[in-house]
Chains A and B, each alone.
Chain A
Amino acid sequence: MMRLLPFDHAIRNLGRSPRRLALLVGGSALVSLLVLGAVAFSRGLETSLGASGLATNALVLAAGSEESVERSEIAPGVTDALATGVDGIAVLAGQPLVSPEIHAALPVSLSGEAVGSEGEAPEAPPVLVRGFEPAAFAVHPQVRLASGRWPRPGADEVAAGPEALARVGGAAAGAREGATLLIAGQPFTVVGTLHAPGTAMHGEFWMRLDRLAQLTQRTTRSCVVVALGDAEFDDVDALVATRLDLESVAMTESDYYARLAEFFAPIRALVLATAILVSCGAALGGLNAMYAAFASRVREVGTLQALGFGRTAIAVSLAIESLVACSAGALLASLIAVLFLDGAAVRFSMGSFALSVDATAIAAGLLSGIVLGVVGAIAPIIRCLSLPIPIALRA
C-alpha cells in the first residue's frame, strides 16, 4: 500500500519557510481579493437596486421613459387620476398613498467650496435629488430619518442621504445638519439625515416637491408611486392604459429597478471581466511565484524519492502545501473584504451603492484561492517529479 507523507509534514514545511509561505499566501490573497471585490461590486449593485423597489408599489411614469425616471415627465393631474381612479389603494390617515415625485440629477457642492485656480467654480458632481410629498414616507418604508427633521414645503431645505453627502465631499468636510449646500447654484440647508442603507436612496438628497419644481422650473412630475394596498397592479396598469390622456405607463417598482439592474448589466459584466483579467494577471504572477517556490525544491524532492517516497505521495504533499497556503490567502482576503470592503460606497454618475461582501462573494473568493492552490501546484509538481532522480539529486 502506498504510504503518504503525513499531513503535518506539509504544514511543518510551510511553517519553516516564512518567505515561501508569505509568497504563496500573499499571491493567493491578492487574486482572491480581486475576485471577491468584483463579485461584491456586482452583488452590491444588484442588492441595492433590488432593495430600492417594492413589489407592492406601482410606479407610473411617462410612456417611453421606462428605463429612466429622471427623463420622465408626467402631468401633475396623474396623481389625482390615480388616487381617485384605482380602488383599494393603501390609505393612511384618510389619504390615499399616492406619492408624486420629481427625480432630478443636479450639481451639488458644499457652500464656500474653493474655486479653481483660474477663478472658475469647481465642477460639482450631479447627484440625484428627489422632490417628495408626505405620502413618500409611507410608500418608501425603507427610508427613515436618522436625525434632524424633514424639509418643510417651500423652504430651502434638504434631507441628505449619508452617501450623497459623502459624494459631494460633505463627509470629509464634517458637514452635517445645519450645513449649507449649493444645489443647482442655490443654497439649501441640510435639516435632516436620511437612513436607507443598502438602497439607492441612501445616496440621494430629498427636498419638498414644490421647492424642487421651482428650482428645476418644471411643472411636471417624474413619476407617481402608488402603494397598492388591496388594489392589484393590473388595476393601475388598466387605468393608465385606458386613460391615454395621462400619457403614462405603469410598472411595479421592483420591475423598474430590475430593468435598471439590466441596464447596468454590461457595467457589471465589464467589472467582472476586468477583475477576471486582472486576477489572471495576478494569478500568473502567483503561479510564477509558486513555480519558483517549488522549483527550488527539486533536490529535496529528488532526495525524498531516493529515500523511497513514491511520486504520488510527494505530489500530494506538495499539493497540500499549496492548497493550505492558498486557502489561508483566500481566508485572509475574505477577512480583509469583510473588514474593509463590505459596505464601502461605490459612486457613479448620479448615484451610489455599497459593495456587498455576502456569502456569494466570499464563496467566489475562497474558490479562486482553492483553484489557484490546485492549479498552481500542478506545473511545479510536474517539473519536480519529471526529472530523473540522479539529476534531481544534483540540482
Chain B
Amino acid sequence: MSEAFIRCEKLTKVYRKGDQEIVPIRDLDLEIARGAFVSLMGPSGSGKTTLLNLLAGIDSPTRGALHIGSNDLARLSRGALAAWRSREVGIVFQSYNLVPVLTAFENVELPLLLQPLSRAERARRAMEALDTVGLGDRASHFPSQLSGGQEQRVAIARAIVARPPLLLADEPTGDLDRESADLVLALLASLHRDRGTTIVMVTHDPEAAARADTLLHLDKGRLAARESRGAEAAR
C-alpha cells in the first residue's frame, strides 16, 4: 500500500451566514496516496470545492487535522501557507483565472517569480511548460486572444511550471467544449503518468472523472463512496 500523501482526520469546515451555520465538510476522514489521480464528485453543495480549497491552503479548517506531505496545514500561518502553496501546489480553476493584462508567457512565469531563479531560467522553464501544454507558439498571446481550451491549457502550464508535487483542479473542463475538455484531461493524465504528480480534480463530468484512478463521492460533507480503478490509491 502506498504512503498517504494527503491525510484528513475529522476534517470539518463551518461557515456562518447570519444565524445560520453551514457545514460543507463534516468529520471527513480521508487519505490519498502520493502519485494518485483522484476525482472528487458529488452533487452541488456536497463540499467538493470546499475540500479542494482546504487542500490548497486557501481556506482553513474549523476543526480536525489536514496533513499534506510533512505539513500540518491547520498549524501553518497565513504567510507560511502562502510560501507552502508556492512550492507544493499548483491550482487549476474552472474559469482559468489568468491575469488579463499579461501574456500567456507572463502568466506562466508568475509562480516562478516566487522562486530564486534568474530571468533566463524563468524564461526557459515558462517556455518549457508552455511547450508541455502545446502552446509554445502562443507565448505572446494575451488571454483575450486565446480560446477557452487554450486559456485552460495556459492555466495548467502555470500550475505545473514550478513543478509542484500536488495539482488541484476545480472543474477544469467545466467551461470547455468536449474536444477542448478531452485535450485538457489528456494533459492531466500525462502529467500524472509521466511526472508522478498527485492530482485531485473536482468534476461533475463522469467522462472526466473516468480519467482518474480513484473516484471519491462526497455527499453533505462526508465521504459517501470510494471507487478505485487499477491500483488502490485512495482509501
Report A's interface with B, CB cutoff 8 A: 2-3, 5-6, 9, 12-13, 16-17, 299-300, 302-311, 388-390, 393
Contact = CB atoms under 8 A, between A and B. Distances in A.
Contacts of A304: 99, 110
B1 interface: no
B79 A305 contact: no
B132 interface: no
A3 B84 CA distance: 13
Interface residues of B, number: 27
A3 B113 contact: yes
Interface string B131-163: 000000000000000000000000000100000
Interface stretch (B39-47, B85-93, B223-231): B85-93
Given A13-B101, A299-B97, A309 B53 contact: no
B121 to A, nearest CB: 14
B97 to A, nearest CB: 4
Contact of A309 (B58, B91, B102, B114): B114
Contacts of A390: 49, 53, 58-59
A300 B99 contact: yes
Contacts of A300: 99-100
Given A305-B82, A307-B85, A308-B83, 4 more contacts: A303-B97, A309-B82, A388-B59, A393-B58
- Looking at A17, A307, A389, which has the most chain B CB atoms within 10 Å of its CB? A307
B111 interface: yes
Nearest to A308: B86
Contacts of A303: 93, 97, 99
Contacts of B59: 388-390
B114 A306 contact: no
Contacts of A308: 82-87, 89, 111, 114
Closest CB pairs A-B (n = 4): A308-B86, A16-B101, A389-B58, A308-B85
Contacts of A6: 113
Given A16-B102, A308-B83, A388-B59, A5 B93 contact: no
Contacts of B79: 2, 310
A22 B165 CA distance: 42
B91 A306 contact: yes
A168 B59 CA distance: 73
A126 B233 CA distance: 97
B78 interface: yes
A307 B86 contact: yes
A303 B101 CA distance: 14
A302 to B, nearest CB: 8
Interface in B40-98: 49, 53, 56, 58-59, 78-79, 82-87, 89, 91, 93, 97
Contacts of B93: 303, 393
Nearest to B85: A308
A307 B106 CA distance: 14
Query: Which DSSP category, helix, strand, loop or mixed, fits chain B's interface?
Result: helix
A345 B82 CA distance: 58
- Looking at A2, A17, A302, A304, which has the most chain B CB atoms within 10 Å of its CB? A304
A306 B56 contact: yes
Contacts of A309: 82, 86, 113-114
A16 B100 CA distance: 9
A311 B78 contact: yes
Interface in B200-215: none
Nearest to B107: A303
A213 to B, nearest CB: 74
A9 B113 contact: yes
Contacts of B58: 305-306, 389-390, 393
Contacts of B97: 299, 302-303, 306, 393
A306 B85 contact: yes
A16 to B, nearest CB: 4
B111 A307 contact: yes
A3 B83 CA distance: 9
Nearest to B97: A303
A141 to B, nearest CB: 61
Interface string B172-207: 000000000000000000000000000000000000
Nearest to B88: A308
Interface string B104-132: 00100011011000000000000000000
A248 B85 CA distance: 86
A5 B113 contact: yes
16 contacts: A2-B79, A299-B97, A302-B97, A305-B58, A306-B56, A308-B83, A308-B84, A309-B82, A309-B86, A309-B113, A309-B114, A310-B82, A310-B83, A311-B78, A390-B59, A393-B93
Contacts of B106: 12
A9 B101 CA distance: 11
Contacts of B110: 304, 307
A85 to B, nearest CB: 80
A3 B114 contact: yes
Contacts of A311: 78, 82
B111 A17 contact: no
Contacts of A16: 101-102
Contacts of B78: 311
A3 B111 CA distance: 11
Contacts of B113: 3, 5-6, 9, 309
A308 B87 CA distance: 8
A17 B144 CA distance: 14
Contacts of B100: 300
A306 B170 CA distance: 13
A108 B58 CA distance: 77
Nearest to B54: A390
Contacts of A13: 101-102
